[in-house]
Amino acid sequence: NAGVMQNPRHLVRRRGQEARLRCSPMKGHSHVYWYRQLPEEGLKFMVYLQKENIIDESGMPKERFSAEFPKEGPSILRIQQVVRGDSAAYFCASSSMADTQYFGPGTRLTVL
Amino acid sequence: AQSVTQPDIHITVSEGASLELRCNYSYGATPYLFWYVQSPGQGLQLLLKYFSGDTLVQGIKGFEAEFKRSQSSFNLRKPSVHWSDAAEYFCAVVFTGGGNKLTFGTGTQLKVEL
Q: What is the mean pLDDT of residues A6-13?
A: 97
- DSSP state for residue A84 in the 8-state scheme: G
Q: Least CB-CB distance to A106: which of B43, B45, B103?
A: B43
Question: Per the CB < 8 Å rule, is A101 touching B104?
Answer: no
Q: What angle do CA A103, B49, B40 make, to 5 degrees?
A: 40
Q: Where does chain A have alpha helices with state H?
A: none
Task: Give A38's Cβ-side CA count (13 Å radius).
Answer: 8
CA B61 to CA A4: how far, in whole Å?
Answer: 21
Phi-psi region of B61 (alpha: psi -120 to 50; beta: other; left: phi over 0): left
DSSP-assigned letters across all residues of B62-97: G-EEEEEGGGTEEEEEESS--GGG-EEEEEEEE-TT
Q: What pLDDT, on a 0 to 100 scale, did the predictor assign at position A27?
A: 92
- Distance from the Cα of residue B23 to its chain's centroid: 6
Q: Do A42 and B105 touch (CB under 8 A)?
A: yes
- Each residue's pLDDT, cut to its tens digit, for chain B (114 residues) gives 789 999 999 999 999 999 999 999 998 888 999 999 999 888 999 999 999 999 999 999 999 999 999 999 999 999 999 999 999 999 999 988 767 899 999 999 999 999
- The arithmetic mean of pLDDT across residues A29-34, rounded, is 95
| Residue of A45, A91, A103 lying closest to B101 (CB–CB) | A45
Q: Return the number of CB contacts < 8 Å for A and B.
A: 60
Asked if B43 lies within 8 A of A91 by C-beta distance, the reply is: yes
| Torsions phi, psi for B112 (to 5 deg) | -115, 120
> What are the C-alpha distances in Å from A105 to residues A80, B11, B41, B44?
23, 24, 8, 7
| C-alpha span between A98 and B95 (Å, rounded) | 12
- Partner residue opposite B43 with nearest CB, options A55, A100, A103: A103
What gap in Å lies between CA A3 and CA A12, rounded to an integer? 24
**Quick one: average pLDDT of A1-25?**
94
CA distance A18 to chain B (A): 23
pLDDT in tens, A49-67: 999 899 999 999 999 999 9
Contact residues, chain B, for A45 at CB < 8 Å = 101-103
Residue B55 has a CB neighbour count (10 Å cut-off) of 12
Reported as a single tens digit per residue, the pLDDT across B40-57 is 888 999 999 999 999 999
Please name the member of A42, A93, A101 whose beta carbon is closest to the beta carbon of B107: A42
Q: Is the pLDDT of residue A1 over 70?
A: no
Residues 6+ apart with CB under 8 A from A63: none
Model confidence over A81-104: pLDDT tens digits? 999 999 999 999 999 987 899 999
Nearest CA-CA distance, residue A83 and chain B, Å:
22
Q: Which residue of A has its CA nearest to B47?
A: A102
Nearest to B105 by CA among B25, B12, B14, B15: B25
pLDDT: is B27 or A69 the higher one? A69
**Cα separation of A3 and A102, whole Å?**
8
For CA atoms B98, B71, A101, A84, give the dihedral sign: positive
- Asked if A55 and B103 come within 8 Å (Cβ–Cβ), the reply is no
Count other Cβ atoms within 10 Å, centred on residue A72.
6
Q: With CB atoms and an 8 Å threshold, state whether A55 touches B99.
A: yes
